[in-house]
C-alpha cells in the first residue's frame, strides 16, 4: 500500500513509525511532514489544508489510503473531499469532526444525551456572558472559546476581573478569531485528568490504552497551557473499574449520540476526562489522535495499525481483536525557549545520533527541519523523546537519559513528567 499521512508534528511522526512496521506498507508520504519525518517517509510540500492539492497528489501517485491526523483539515472537510474523489481516508467527516471544532455543539450534545460533563451555559453576546458570570458569582469559572484555538482557548478565571477580561479577550478582541464568536462558560471541576483515545467505526468502539498529558509549560503544573509537554501511558489513575464506568456512561453513549444526530463518527475519538469526586466527566472531545498522547500510546500497539484503519473505514471494527503491550511508556517534550509564546527558530540540534545509545528510546520530531545534513528547530514543540520500560519509572528514567544527550540553545523541558501528585 501507498499511504499519505497529513500533518507535520510528533504525532504524525509516531503514526508513520507505526505504519512502517506493517508488512502491508510499501511507501509512506507525508504532507508536509518535518525534518525527522523526512528520514522515515517522503515529505511532499503540500499544506495540510490544501484539499485540492492533496486530492491531486493522491490521484497522481495512486495513494491507497490517506491518514488525516490534525484537527484543522478534518474540520475543513478533508475526508469528505477525499471520499468524494474515491480515495480511502482515515478520519471523521466534517459533520462529525464538529465534536471537537465546536464546544457549543459538543456541550449541547452531552446535555441532550445525558453524557456527564461540567454544567455550562453558552453565549454569543459578551454582555450577557458577563452578566451571567457576575450573577452566578462562583470562582474559579471556566471560559472556553467555541472553536479551534490550538489548545489555548480555555481560560480558568480565578475572580470576577479575570473572568470579565477573558470574555473581552475572546469575544471582543477576538484573540482566537472567529473561534470566539461564541463561548461556553462552565463549572470548574477538580480531579486527575485522563486521556483516552479510541478507535470507532461508528458501530463499535475500542478504547486504546490510557495516557496522561501534562499541559502546563513548567514543572508543578505552573505556567501557561501548551499543546502538551509530556505524556505517560498507562495513566495510573485509570483503573479497570473507572474504565468500565467510562465505557458505559461516556464512550458508548457518545458513539450512539453522534449516530442519532446523523453525524456518524469514524476514526480516532479522543476523550479528555476528569475523574471528579462525583465520577468521570468529559472535559473535551477531540476528533483525532492527541499530541503528545499518540507518542506513548501507539508504541504499545501490537496489532497491525493498517488492519485497524481498514476495519474502521469498512465498518468491521467489532471483528478485530486489538492487542497492546504491557509495557509503560513516557514522552518528554523538548520545546523551544519561550514556547508557548514567541520563540526562535533555526537553532541547530545536537546529540540526536548518540541518542541511539539509549536502548528503548525513540525521538519523535515535532518541529524540526533537516538542512545541509543537520537538524534545526522549526517549531515550539521540537522533539518528543519517548521510551518504554517494564515500569513507568524505567520508561521515565530512559526517556530523561535520552533527553540528557540532546541539546539546542534555550531548550526547555519539564523535569516532572509522570510524577504523580
| DSSP-H helix ranges across 317-377 | none
Minimum CB distance to ligand GLY, residue 40 (Å): 21
Please tell me whether residue 215 binds ligand AMP under the rule CB under 6 A. Answer: yes
One of 189, 243, 245, 411 touching ligand AMP (CB under 6 A): 189
Q: Give the three cell numbers for residue 388.
A: 518504554
One of 87, 118, 258, 308 touching ligand AMP (CB under 6 A): 118
Q: Which stretch binds ligand GLY (CB under 6 A): 102-110, 141-149, 286-294, 303-311?
A: 286-294
10 Cβ neighbours under 8 A, 6+ residues apart = 291, 292, 294, 295, 331, 333, 364, 365, 366, 381, 383, 384
Please tell me whether residue 272 binds ligand AMP under the rule CB under 6 A. Answer: yes
Minimum CB distance to ligand GLY, residue 338 (Å): 20
- Other beta carbons within 10 Å of 10: 32
| Upstream peptide bond of 402 is cis (omega within 30 degrees of 0) | no
Letters for 273-302 (x = contact with ligand AMP by CB under 6 A, - = none) are ----------xx------------------
- Which long-range contacts (C-beta less than 8 Å, at least 24 apart) are formed by 315-319? 315/201, 315/202, 315/203, 315/266, 316/201, 317/199, 317/200, 317/201, 317/203, 317/204, 317/205, 317/206, 318/201, 318/203, 318/204
Question: Which of 293/310 has CB closer to ligand GLY?
Answer: 293
One of 154, 194, 330, 352 touching ligand AMP (CB under 6 A): 154
In what helix (H) or strand (E) does residue 128 lie, and over which residues does it extend?
helix 126-136
Please tell me whether residue 101 binds ligand GLY under the rule CB under 6 A. Answer: no
What is the Cα–Cα distance from 331 to 361, expressed in whole angstroms? 9
Tell me which of ligand AMP, ligand GLY, none is bound by residue 162, counting a contact when its beta carbon lies within the kind-specific cut-off of 5 to 8 angstroms.
none
Please tell me whether residue 100 binds ligand GLY under the rule CB under 6 A. Answer: no
Question: Which of 89/274 has CB closer to ligand AMP?
Answer: 274
Of 216-245, binders to ligand GLY (CB under 6 A) are: 227-228
Q: What are phi and psi of 62, to 5 degrees?
A: 50, 55
- Other beta carbons within 10 Å of 217: 19
Please tell me whether residue 286 binds ligand GLY under the rule CB under 6 A. Answer: yes
If you count them, how many residues does the chain have? 421
Minimum CB distance to ligand AMP, residue 33 (Å): 26
50 Cβ neighbours under 8 A, 6+ residues apart = none
What is the Cα–Cα distance from 175 to 178, expressed in whole angstroms? 9
Tell me which of ligand GLY, ligand AMP, none is bound by residue 186, counting a contact when its beta carbon lies within the kind-specific cut-off of 5 to 8 angstroms.
ligand AMP
Tell me which of ligand GLY, ligand AMP, none is bound by residue 228, counting a contact when its beta carbon lies within the kind-specific cut-off of 5 to 8 angstroms.
ligand GLY
Question: Which of 206/214 has CB closer to ligand AMP?
Answer: 214
Q: Which stretch binds ligand GLY (CB under 6 A): 180-188, 237-245, 273-281, 285-293?
A: 285-293
Q: Which of 417, 410, 402 is nearest to 330 (CA)?
A: 417
User: Which residues contact ligand GLY by CB under 6 A?
Assistant: 151, 213, 227-228, 286, 290-291, 293
User: Which residues contact ligand AMP by CB under 6 A?
Assistant: 118, 142, 151, 154, 156, 186-189, 193, 215, 225, 272, 283-284
Amino acid at each position: 500500500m501507498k499511504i499519505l499521512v497529513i500533518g507535520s508534528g510528533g504525532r504524525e511522526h509516531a503514526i508513520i513509525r507505526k505504519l512502517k512496521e506493517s508488512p502491508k506498507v510499501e511507501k509512506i508520504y507525508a504532507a508536509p511532514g518535518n525534518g525527522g519525518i523526512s528520514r522515515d517517509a517522503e515529505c511532499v510540500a503540500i499544506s495540510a489544508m490544501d484539499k485540492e492539492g492533496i486530492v491531486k497528489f493522491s490521484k497522481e501517485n495512486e495513494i491507497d489510503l490517506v491518514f488525516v491526523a490534525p484537527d484543522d483539515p478534518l474540520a475543513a472537510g478533508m475526508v469528505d473531499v477525499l471520499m468524494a474523489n474515491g480515495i480511502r481516508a482515515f478520519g471523521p467527516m466534517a459533520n462529525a469532526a464538529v465534536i471537537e471544532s465546536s464546544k457549543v455543539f459538543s456541550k449541547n450534545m452531552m446535555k441532550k444525551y445525558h453524557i456527564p460533563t461540567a454544567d455550562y451555559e453558552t453565549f454569543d453576546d459578551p454582555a450577557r456572558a458577563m452578566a451571567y458570570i457576575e450573577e452566578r458569582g462562583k470562582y474559579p469559572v471556566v471560559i472556553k472559546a467555541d472553536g479551534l484555538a490550538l489548545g489555548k482557548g480555555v481560560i480558568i478565571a480565578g475572580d470576577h476581573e479575570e473572568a470579565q477580561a477573558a470574555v473581552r479577550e475572546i469575544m471582543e478582541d477576538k484573540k482566537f478569531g472567529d473561534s470566539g464568536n461564541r463561548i461556553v462558560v462552565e463549572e470548574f471541576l477538580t480531579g486527575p485528568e485522563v486521556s483516552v483515545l479510541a478507535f470507532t467505526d461508528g458501530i463499535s468502539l475500542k478504547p486504546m490504552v490510557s495516557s496522561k498529558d501534562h499541559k502546563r509549560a513548567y514543572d508543578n503544573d505552573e505556567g501557561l497551557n501548551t499543546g502538551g509537554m509530556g505524556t505517560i501511558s498507562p495513566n495510573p489513575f485509570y483503573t479497570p473499574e473507572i474504565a468500565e464506568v467510562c465505557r458505559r456512561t461516556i464512550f458508548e453513549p457518545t458513539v450512539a449520540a453522534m449516530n442519532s444526530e446523523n453525524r456518524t463518527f469514524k476514526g480516532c475519538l479522543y476523550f479528555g476526562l476528569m475523574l471528579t469526586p462525583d465520577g468521570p466527566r468529559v472535559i473535551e472531545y477531540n476528533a483525532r489522535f492527541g499530541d503528545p498522547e499518540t507518542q506513548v500510546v501507539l508504541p504499545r500497539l501490537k496489532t497491525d495499525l493498517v488492519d485497524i484503519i481498514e476495519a474502521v473505514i469498512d465498518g468491521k471494527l467489532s471483528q478485530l481483536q486489538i492487542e497492546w503491550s504491557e509495557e509503560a511508556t513516557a514522552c518528554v517534550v523538548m520545546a523551544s525557549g519561550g514556547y508557548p509564546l514567541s520563540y526562535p527558530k533555526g537553532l541547530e540540534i545536537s546529540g540526536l545520533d548518540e541518542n541511539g545509545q539509549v536502548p528503548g528510546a525513540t525521538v519523535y520530531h515535532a518541529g524540526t527541519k533537516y538542512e545541509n545534513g543537520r537538524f534545526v528547530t522549526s517549531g515550539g514543540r521540537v522533539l518528543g523523546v519517548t521510551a518504554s520500560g517494564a515500569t513507568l519509572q524505567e520508561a521515565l528514567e530512559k526517556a530523561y537519559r535520552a533527553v540528557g544527550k540532546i541539546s539546542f540553545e534555550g531548550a526547555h523541558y519539564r523535569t516532572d513528567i509522570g510524577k504523580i501528585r
